[in-house]
Amino acid sequence: MKIFTTREELSDYLRQLQKHSKVIGFVPTMGALHEGHLALIRIASSQSDAVVCSIFVNPTQFNDPKDFEKYPKTIEEDIQKLESLKCDVLFLPEVKEMYPEKQLWHFNLGELEKVLEAKSRPGHYQGVTQIVKKLLDAVKPDQVYFGQKDFQQFLVIEKMVSTLHIPVKLIMCPIVRDKDGLALSSRNVRLSPEQREQALALSQSLALVKKQFNKKTINLLKSDAITFLEMNGIKPDYFEICNAKNLKAASSKNTSKLIALVAAYVGGTRLIDNMILK
């Protein structure tokens, strides 16, 4: 696996591949790689001639500086995992490489900037769009892979890519879960064994709503889910049932695609999860 730390070296290498019509698949990550990330790499490999993974903990998307400082870093293990999957290229820049100077950035996300993660983490998606634009400019992939785990992030990037006419295909990959249902997340390493048990309530609350979907109103489904989380000692940030196309809160079940999304604190760790309802 080739490892590049500058945009220029990365671009020079990839432009050679593109001259030979190689299809480039790209998987952006913040590292501390787990099976969820590796699934994206595997899917990308099966659909591309060359796979580029990036590892960059992007400071501009953290609204909480402590969360940024505490973000897990396991670069040696990450490199081994990527090599074992025969990932072709790792882009591993320093902060000063991506942000040589302070840069003003604002991208109009419309309603997506006002709900769920955007509401709870002001500025988060400005940081996400800022770094994803820079990464797409450097890699110029044919296709880029994201997890359904960050569902709102996918819609945000979809909006940016279509507004700016960036020529790349976006591919959403399913959520990878542990056997007991907990969605894999780099932040799970911060959970004590007891907190990990409690964290199961996130996926369980989603499964409960899916199971009871035909039997209860939207409002009742939501309030039951919140009660369920609280009973398990978890502090919900939100539990919403939304139109999966635009994340507007659903008031009825008539919408063609519905998704339930949850964010909650387990101790000091904020976790998110979601499930398509229909």
Least Å distance between CB 214 and ligand AMP?
27
Among 44, 147, 222, 244, the residue binding ligand AMP under the rule CB under 6 A is 147
CB crowding 34-46: b at 16 or more within 10 Å, else e = bebbbbbbbbbbe
Least distance in angstroms from the C-beta of 75 to ligand AMP: 13
From the list 37, 106, 124, 165, the catalytic residue is 37
The set of residues, in sequence order, having a beta carbon less than 8 Å from that of 74 and lying 6+ positions away, is: 31, 32, 33
Q: Which stretch binds ligand AMP (CB under 6 A): 15-23, 29-37, 97-105, 115-123?
A: 29-37
β 2-4/169-173 pair status: unpaired
- State the Cα–Cα distance between residues 157 and 127, nearest whole angstrom: 12
Establish if 30 lies at the interface with ligand AMP (CB under 6 A).
yes
Identify which range of 3-11, 70-78, 92-100, 142-150 contacts ligand AMP by CB under 6 A. Answer: 142-150
Assess contact for 49 and 22: CB atoms under 8 A: yes
Please tell me whether residue 29 binds ligand AMP under the rule CB under 6 A: yes
Could you tell me if 199 and 271 are in contact, meaning their C-beta atoms sit under 8 angstroms apart?
Answer: yes
Q: Where are the beta strands (DSSP E) in the chain?
A: 2-4, 24-29, 50-55, 89-91, 143-147, 169-173, 235-243, 258-266, 269-276
Position 183 contacts ligand AMP (CB under 6 A): yes
Nearer to ligand AMP by Cβ, of 183 and 242: the residue is: 183
Query: CA 114: distance to chain centroid?
Result: 18
Q: What angle do CA 177, 114, 167 make, to 5 degrees?
A: 70
Closest residue to ligand AMP using C-beta atoms? 147
Q: Is 20 a catalytic residue?
A: no
Residue 36 in the binding site for ligand AMP (CB under 6 A): yes
Confirm or reject binding of residue 176 to ligand AMP (CB under 6 A).
yes
Q: Which residues are catalytic?
A: 37
**Residues engaged in binding ligand AMP (CB under 6 A):** 29-30, 36-37, 39-40, 146-147, 149-150, 173, 175-176, 183-186
